[in-house]
């Protein structure tokens, strides 16, 4: 028996040597709950990669902001201290301006448009190719659902958000969008939002309506305006150190597994959002208000014109409009 164990140990060592890889456990940082749509898909990614690489590449997921907010761990990814992380397009536009185009309100009007754009090789190149200059490498994207607005006080339509302090991310695009909607944008860390609404620091937020259930925001924000202005994209980024350490063979596996999950994330995000919003309605008493989006779309047309005049954004905006069959800057 002892002799058999020795043989097995030698065989494992030889197997690792044959692949040119040493078994490692890499850190993945996220600021989302483990049971959120993105959290579940990252867990699936980690488990599948470990299985398909015979344990040579393993991941430990640090969820819910344990390793800091997105800006914190993004900087650690750039330094090679953290291996992978979930960073959204709003945060990335502060580093690479082209990401601001996919953050534009109503750039995606349907899930189908979003899927067509994100699958386009030219769009992916525009978003991914300059990343190495900033010491990171995008692995791919995970779709979140459409983002809307929710508030703590009764409203009947979009006119009700005029002058309301709404939490948003630290993104120039999102801040400008809320100003044009008539609200008062208030950048705030996601982890502070519940208490900020509870204490009246903000009157509500822009975000996925699924969060009314999954993050329990529906306990304080009972009014959901279905504005569906943006579809925030979460990108999984890797450090350059991670790219160097993982063998080419195993990196192909990592990329293949993530590509499959990425494709499925659109449908899953939509399905999970519908389910969670309904739970917020049924169990928290949240009221969903269907709104006329036309005034909001008209309000943000100047943002398209500004992007069309920006050399860092113009070509990507034109490419997306071509994919969607939109002929001008109007909605």
Q: Could you list the pLDDT tens digit for every one of the 331 residues in the chain?
A: 454 444 445 444 444 444 445 789 999 999 988 988 899 999 999 999 999 999 999 999 999 999 998 999 999 999 999 999 999 998 899 899 999 999 999 999 999 999 999 999 999 999 999 999 999 999 999 998 999 999 999 999 999 999 999 999 988 999 999 999 999 999 998 889 999 999 999 999 999 999 999 899 999 999 999 999 999 899 999 999 999 999 999 999 999 999 999 999 999 999 999 999 999 999 999 999 999 999 999 999 999 999 999 999 999 999 999 999 987 666 5
**Residue 119, domain member (yes or no):** yes
Residue 270 lies in a domain: no
**Does any domain span residue 306?**
yes
How many structural domains does the chain have?
2
256 in any annotated domain: yes
Residues 116, 256 share a domain:
yes
Answer yes or no: is 331 within a domain.
no
Domain boundary residue among 220, 244, 265?
Answer: 265
Residues 168 and 295 in one domain: yes
* DSSP reduced 3-state for 116: helix
Please check whether residues 180 and 249 belong to one and the same domain: no
Q: Which two tokens stand for residue 23?
A: 């078994």
Judgement on whether residues 227 and 296 belong to the same structural domain of the protein = yes
Would strands 147-151 and 223-230 be described as parallel, antiparallel, or unpaired? antiparallel
Burial class (CB in 10 A: 0-12, 13-18, 19+), 290: exposed
pLDDT in tens, 283-326: 999 999 999 999 999 999 999 999 999 999 999 999 999 999 98
* Containing structural domain, residue 82: 2-87+110-143+234-265
CATH (domain of 193): 3.40.190.170
Residues in the chain: 331
Please report whether residue 95 resides in a domain. Answer: no
Are 218 and 160 part of one and the same domain?
Answer: yes
29 forms beta bridges with 62, 85
Residues sharing a CB contact under 8 Å with residue 84, sequence separation 6 or more, in sequence order: 26, 27, 28, 29, 59, 77, 139, 236, 237, 238, 239, 242
Is residue 127 domain-shared with residue 67, that is, in the same domain? Answer: yes
Same domain, 129 and 201: no
Query: Does one domain contain both 63 and 176?
Result: no
Phi and psi torsions of 23, nearest 5°: -60, 130
Q: Is residue 92 part of a domain?
A: no
Contact between 74 and 96 under an 8 Å Cβ cutoff? The reply is no
Residue with tokens 């982890």: 191
Query: Are 171 and 52 found together in one domain?
Result: no
* Contact in structure between 31 and 65 (CB atoms under 8 Å): yes
State the Cα torsion 56-60-61-66 to the nearest 10°: -150
Q: Which two tokens stand for residue 129?
A: 């190719």
Does 183 map to a domain?
A: yes
Residues 16 and 78 in one domain: yes
Contacts 24+ apart (CB under 8 A), 6-15: 15/54
One domain for residues 160 and 217: yes
Dihedral of the CA atoms 224, 225, 228, 232 (nearest 10)?
-40
183 and 36: one domain?
Answer: no
By three-state DSSP, how is residue 214 classified? helix
């Amino acid at each position: 028996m002892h002799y058999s164990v020795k043989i097995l140990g030698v065989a494992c060592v030889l197997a690792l040597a044959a692949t040119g890889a040493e078994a490692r456990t890499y850190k993945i940082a996220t600021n989302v709950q483990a049971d959120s749509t993105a959290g579940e898909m990252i867990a699936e990614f980690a488990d599948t990669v470990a299985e398909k690489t015979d344990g040579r590449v393993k991941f430990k997921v640090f969820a819910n902001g344990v390793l800091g907010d997105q800006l914190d761990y993004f900087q650690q990814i750039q330094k090679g201290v953290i291996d992978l992380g979930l960073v959204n397009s709003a945060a990335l536009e502060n580093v690479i301006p082209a990401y601001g185009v996919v953050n534009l309100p109503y750039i995606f009007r349907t899930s189908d448009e979003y899927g067509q754009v994100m699958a386009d090789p030219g769009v992916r190149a525009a978003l991914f190719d300059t990343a190495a200059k900033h010491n990171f490498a995008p692995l791919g994207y995970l779709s979140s659902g459409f983002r809307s607005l929710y508030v703590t006080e009764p409203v009947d339509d979009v006119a009700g958000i005029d002058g309301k302090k709404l939490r948003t991310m630290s993104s120039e695009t999102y801040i400008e969008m809320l100003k044009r909607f008539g609200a008062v944008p208030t950048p705030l860390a996601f982890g502070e939002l519940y208490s900020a609404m509870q204490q009246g620091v903000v009157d509500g937020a822009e975000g996925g309506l699924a969060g009314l259930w999954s993050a329990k925001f529906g306990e304080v924000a009972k009014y959901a305006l279905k504005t569906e202005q943006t579809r925030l994209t979460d990108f999984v980024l890797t450090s350059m150190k991670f790219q160097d350490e993982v063998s080419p063979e195993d990196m192909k596996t990592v990329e293949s597994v993530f590509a499959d999950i990425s494709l499925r994330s659109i449908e899953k995000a939509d399905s999970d959002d519908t389910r969670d919003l309904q739970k917020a309605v049924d169990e928290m008493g949240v009221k969903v208000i269907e709104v006329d989006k036309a005034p909001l779309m008209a309000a943000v047309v100047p943002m398209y014109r500004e992007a069309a005049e920006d050399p860092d954004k113009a070509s990507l905006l034109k490419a997306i409009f071509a994919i969607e069959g939109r002929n001008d800057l109007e909605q």
